[in-house]
Amino acid sequence: MSMTLYYSPASPPSRAVLLTLRNLGLEFERKVINMMAGENKSDEFLKINPQGTVPVVVDDDFAMNESRAICCYLVNAKSPDNSLYPTDDIKARYIIDQRLFYDASTFTSALTGALVPIMRKGETVIQQEHKDKILSVLNTLESFLDGYEWFSASDNVSIADLSILANFSTIYHIGLDLADYPNVSAWYERCKELPGADENEKGAKMFAMFLKSKLTEPF
């Protein structure tokens, strides 16, 4: 049996899957896909994922895309009793699912809205409306952590934390001030002790460096 991760080190979804693989202690092969060079649009890659997106995980001959679905699969298939995504408590799993869906929709939408105009449209300033959406997300994340160490609303780290961490570290290194978010700040410090955290930080800083080179004003 073999497993291969096709990914971009700077990509938040790629980093979410990489974090999950590391926290599960799984063995896998890594293949970097250079998005800037268009490798994700090559015939070879499109045979694996017709959507042309990263990450992709191929488990034997089973190819998967969409980072959060991959993270769920990895726990379900490789470590079904793992507290990263528990099988024995439906309410606990609901909370993790809810956080994952919030991250996939609201957080990612806010992040994309702020960053895509800089990356693809030549804008040099993050517009205030996009900053406000990101800050609104931070307020919600802060409330999710009231009384808890992790986004699972428990003492256990979950795949929701790993997915949110990939997005959060990206915007943090672009210049986010955490002074008004003590819960999130403390959570982020705990995350730095997780397996794969150093790789995630390196990728987030890579993404932030690229973006900040295009900005004329800080976040």
Instruction: Tell me the per-residue pLDDT of 149-168, one tens digit each, with 9 for 90 and over.
Output: 999 999 999 999 999 999 99
pTM above 0.75, yes or no: yes
Which of these is catalytic: 2, 8, 11, 14? Answer: 11
22-26, 32-36, 63-67, 117-121 — which is least confidently predicted? 117-121
The encoded tokens of residue 76 equal 């379900």
Shared domain check, 172 and 65: no
Residues 203 and 110 in one domain: yes
Q: Using an 8 Å Cβ cutoff, are 118 and 211 in contact?
A: yes
Rounded Cα distance between 29 and 175, Å, is 33
Tokens of 87: 């099988």
114 and 201 share one domain = yes
Query: What's the mean pLDDT in 9-23?
Result: 98
Question: Within this chain, do residues 45 and 148 fall inside the same structural domain, yes or no?
Answer: no
Cα distance between residue 200 and residue 15, in whole Å:
6
Residues 135, 28 share a domain = no
180 in the same domain as 106? yes
Pair 4, 176: CB distance under 8 Å: no
Two structure tokens written together for 57: 């995980």
Q: Which residues contact 197 (CB under 8 A, 6 or more apart)?
A: 19, 191
For residues 131 and 196, state if they share a domain.
yes
Q: What integer is the mean pLDDT of 174-178?
A: 93
Mean pLDDT in residue range 34-51: 96
88-132 tens-digit pLDDT:
999 999 999 999 999 999 999 999 999 999 998 989 999 999 999
- State how far the Cα of 168 lies from the Cα of 127, in Å rounded to an integer: 19
pLDDT computed for residue 113 by the predictor: 96
pLDDT beyond 70 at 196: yes
Instruction: Return mean pLDDT, the chain.
Output: 96
- The reported pLDDT for the residue numbered 132 is 96
163 annotated active-site: no
The residues, any chain, with a CB within 8 Å of residue 91's CB and separated by 6 or more, are none
Between the two ends of the chain, the Cα-to-Cα distance in Å is: 45
pLDDT at 1: 64
Domain match, 51 and 116 both:
no
Please say which residue of 78, 110, 136 terminates a domain. Answer: 78
115 and 94 part of one domain: yes
**Number of structural domains found in the chain:** 2
Say if residues 54 and 8 touch (Cβ distance below 8 Å). Answer: yes
Domain assignment of residue 200, given as a range: 90-212
- Residue 219 maps to a domain: no
Q: What is the average per-residue pLDDT within 160-188? A: 97
Percent residues over pLDDT 70 in the chain: 100
In a domain, 195, yes or no: yes
For residue 109, the model assigns a pLDDT of 97
190 contact partners, CB below 8 Å, separation of at least 6: 149, 150
Mean pLDDT confidence for 141-150: 98
- The pLDDT, as a whole number, for residue 62 is 97
How does residue 218 score in pLDDT terms, banded at 50, 70 and 90? confident
Examine the domain organization and report whether 116 and 34 are in the same domain: no
- Separation of alpha carbons 69 and 162, rounded Å: 13
Tell me phi and psi for residue 120, to 5 degrees: -120, -15
Q: Give a yes or no: residue 83 inside a domain.
A: no
- 10 Å CB burial of residue 29 (0-12, 13-18, 19+) is exposed
